[in-house]
Structure 1
């Protein structure tokens, strides 16, 4: 694991430093983890610039949108995650904005086949992966409660508009607090 230099007084990666590290790897396999809203300062990496680097370097792009993924709900901040769909994998923590239990999160990947290979449970009573979704072969957990239910209820109760209003109000409070 290699740390990449950050921009001065920010939690966002320095794109020039990232490119130097990618160049130094000479095509070796690499995963680049970009942040879409850091926990401490809600800083965003320049995802468009990182996506552009993929035209010259081969790497898996994972975007940690745990905190900032919901920026997509607002016109004002949606640009910060405008290329989220270019990632190979994404994670978003629902508990940060949806007021659901702490361990509620979602992840998306372009390579379900790899996900199954990593997490496939070889217990004979479970059989081989089949169907959609075949959840027992997609995560490291076999026995768990239905976390998705609280998230579904929150999404159904507030919808896109309600969550956009909540997100906008929190951002306004944050901006007001930061200007004090």
Structure 2
């Protein structure tokens, strides 16, 4: 996954951005797993922090991630889902039901919307770019465009730092 260039140059800034990107990807995977399997938030966070983040599993290496960022996204999405889902639904076109979306797309949109709402210290462009890149890791064409459009619509409604 390609991460955007941080505003302040230097190895610490790049490392932090890479770890945040890895945390976003892991959070989407964890949210997907919770959605599909009904796993609880405490159980899933513990599983990822102990057994996945920065570990080798069956020949796949999970990137080292900012565990605080990961935990914040997963627990925040679970805590605020009743607020986030209506925001996402209103940003979907043609009254498309959120339940009709692929579970991975739902997880991406929930995590991205959570960050747009809660992480005002992170520029909108960074959040949208990161989640579109995550969508590209899982899907070919339509889904990344959908993620971009929905997160952009939500950002324009709730953030003042978006060019209109």
Structure (1 or 2) with the larger CA radius of gyration: 1
Greater relative contact order (CA < 8 Å, ≥ 6 in sequence): 2
- Same fold per TM (> 0.5)? no
Q: What's the TM-score bracket when you normalise by the shorter of the two chains?
A: under 0.3
